[in-house]
Amino acid sequence: NETVSKNFIENIIDEDLAEGVYDTVHTRFPPEPNGYLHIGHAKSILLNYGLAQKYNGKFNMRFDDTNPTKEKSEFVESIKADIKWLGADWEDRLFFASDYFPQMYEAAVKLIKKGKAYVCDLTADQIREYRGTLTEPGKESPYRNRSVEENLQLFEEMKDGKYQDGEKVLRAKIDMASPNMNMRDPVIYRVAHMTHHRTGDTWCIYPMYDFAHPIEDAIEGITHSICTLEFEDHRPLYDWVVRELEYPQPPKQIEFAKLYLTNVVTGKRYIKKLVEDGIVDGWDDPRLVSIAALRRRGFTPESIKMFVELCGVSKANSSVDYAMLEYCIREDLKFKRPRMMAILDPIKLVIDNYPEGQVEYLEAPNNMENEALGTRKLPFGKELYIEREDFMIEPPRKYKRLFVGAEVRLMNAYFVTCTGYEADDDGTVRVVHCTYDPATKGGNAPDGRKVKGTIHWVEASNAGKATVRLYENIVDEEKGVYNKEDGSLNVNPNSLTTVTAYVEPVLMEAKGYDSFQFVRNGFFCADIHDSKEGEPVFNRIVSLKSSFKL
Ligand code: ATP
Ligand code: MG
Ligand code: MG
């Protein structure tokens, strides 16, 4: 689409294609399988996949599983499920960096043979000390000038398990005086006697990220290796690795800004604590922004895609308001989902002039703005439930709902006029009384008289009782995400409210992930874990009111 302006990455790609640097576009998403994906990863996934699609190129799914400490197969499966759900299709291009361990080892040997890598016996602390500071050049390691033969032998011994963890490392021989600290002879291989989730105990040496990643990209024929801004300083090393290894068509690293949401927790450490403390019920608790949590809450892939596109792609870090994500899900669902009636805070409404024991079925559109969703039959009778806030004993001026003497429309049904109420001694209203006008069936008066308010309702004898969960941010927004003293999370104690709602009977058939608009109350989704046959639990995805304007 020529009218849409391009982002800076597309400009780079256009130039590369025009100049013949590459004749195709090949991207990848390379998560480390050490946790669940969150909304920030969704941005990276959709960006990489979107570019491959736009340029008719290819998209690889690659697990960057070169560090066995925190990696688990469980995460591999959850990550795959999340990416599929988002709609990014890697077809048959699913790769594991651990499959390249033999090539990485060979690459290291090649560097040693070129005199570009050496085995170093300094401890981790000494290496740090020797590295120097930003204002001071580093000091060369006493092992820097080992012969190629000695290095080859020592590196092989490292591989063969002759050394303990930390006893020896392989370092790239670059420049201890470089102004870029990453270029001061970085460690590229370390000894680690650990069992890898895929390669088991085959290896006791593992490559470092900065060495492994460019090799992974080069092996797969990646053209544009997109990563986040914190790797900008590592790009010279990335370029050094692909140059020294003499790949014929080296990949290019491009950095973009991470997606941050204001007052939202994404840090694994913090989410782990919330799970451990029992504040949330898992990594997919609907108050979190992991992809699994968003899916459980009722977000759609389309809404997340819209959100990511609205955020744009840039080189400058910034933080986006959660309200924008809410805007996107409202936009996506408003025409797609049926608009049903549910009463979250019920009081009874009795229609005194309606025949005792009679129930009639009224036809109601499922979505006034989308006829394709059809209609349904709604039971209507003498006793209904309405929202407590839709009746007031002493209404303020401009109150358009029920009070004694007021006439309102019951949505999809009749006009009713309030005639009285019953209340406890403390003023709590128990029952509201009214009369209805049979001539207003369907919600309009033949005499043309108008009413100011329309309220929703559920017929009492057929109503289902469902558990409904209402959410607020799990972060105390007044205080900000982190406690300034001890770095802990500022948790909002009111992030979850559970109510029992009266709902239209058809809603009782809802299954996990089914979502609906509950008129005036928001969008709701049946919980995938806690709903049982005939006993749905609904999570509020988002209310209908919005402070966010595009
Ligand atoms: P860590 O796992 O160390 O907490 P991470 O989640 O960034 O950090 P990866 O699993 O390696 O680590 O991330 C996979 C990809 O997702 C990387 O290319 C990374 O740049 C990208 N990514 C991670 N977080 C964000 C974010 N907030 N916004 C955009 N892209 C992100
Ligand atoms: Mg990660
Ligand atoms: Mg990482």
**Assembly ipTM:** 0.95
DSSP 26-85: EEEE---SSS--BHHHHHHHHHHHHHHHHTT-EEEEEE----TTT--HHHHHHHHHHHHH
User: Domains in the chain and their CATH numbers?
Assistant: 8-256 (3.40.50.620), 260-333 (1.10.1160.10), 339-542 (2.40.240.10)
Ligand 1 test: best mutation among 28, 32, 64, most atoms within 8 Å of CB? 32
Q: What is the pLDDT of residue 74?
A: 86
Alpha carbons 535 and 458: distance in angstroms, whole number? 17
Q: How far is CA 141 from the centre of its chain?
A: 45
Q: Which atom of ligand 1 is nearest to the CA of 267?
A: 4
35 vs 145 pLDDT, higher one: 145
Q: How far is the CA of 425 from the centre of ligand 2 (A)?
A: 58
Q: How many CA atoms lie within 13 A of 82 on its CB side?
A: 32
pLDDT, averaged across the chain = 96
Taking only the tens place, the pLDDT of each residue in 494-530 is 999 999 999 999 999 999 999 999 999 999 999 999 9
Q: How confident is the model at residue 73 (pLDDT cuts 50, 70, 90)?
A: confident
Q: What is the pLDDT of residue 71?
A: 76
pLDDT at 2 over 70: no
Alpha carbons 36 and 310: distance in angstroms, whole number? 24
Q: How far is the CA of 30 from the centre of ligand 1 (A)?
A: 9
Q: Mean pLDDT throughout 241-263?
A: 96
Q: How confident is the model at residue 492 (pLDDT cuts 50, 70, 90)?
A: very high
Q: How far is the CA of 78 from the centre of ligand 3 (A)?
A: 16
Q: What is the pLDDT of residue 1?
A: 47
354-362 own/partner pairs: CB under 8 Å, 24+ apart:
354/381, 354/382, 354/436, 355/382, 356/382, 357/382, 358/382, 359/459, 359/461, 359/462, 362/412, 362/413, 362/441, 362/442
Among all bound ligands, the one having the nearest atom to the CA of 271 is 1
Q: Is 250 in the pocket of ligand 1 (CB under 6 A)?
A: no
What does each C-alpha distance from 187 to 74, 132, 152, 397 come to in angstroms?
29, 15, 16, 73
Q: How confident is the model at residue 472 (pLDDT cuts 50, 70, 90)?
A: very high
pLDDT at 546 over 80: no
pLDDT at 484 over 90: no
Q: What is the pLDDT of residue 550?
A: 65
Contacts of 284 (CB under 8 A, 6+ apart): 36, 290, 292, 293, 295, 296
Q: How far is the CA of 478 from the centre of ligand 1 (A)?
A: 28
CA angle 30, 90, 214 (to 5 degrees): 30
DSSP 367-385: -TT-GGG-EEEEEEESEEE
Q: Is 31 in the pocket of ligand 1 (CB under 6 A)?
A: yes
Q: Is 34 in the pocket of ligand 1 (CB under 6 A)?
A: yes
Q: What is the pLDDT of residue 230?
A: 96
Q: Is 60 in the pocket of ligand 1 (CB under 6 A)?
A: no
Q: Closest residue (by CA) to atom 9 of ligand 1?
A: 31
Q: Closest residue (by CA) to atom 10 of ligand 1?
A: 31
Q: Is 259 in the pocket of ligand 1 (CB under 6 A)?
A: yes
Ligand 1 test: best mutation among 9, 41, 61, 96, most atoms within 8 Å of CB? 41
Q: Is 33 in the pocket of ligand 1 (CB under 6 A)?
A: no
Taking only the tens place, the pLDDT of each residue in 22-54 is 999 999 999 999 989 999 999 999 999 999 999
Q: Closest residue (by CA) to atom 26 of ligand 1?
A: 40
What percent of the chain lies above the pLDDT cut of 70? 99
Q: Is 257 in the pocket of ligand 1 (CB under 6 A)?
A: no
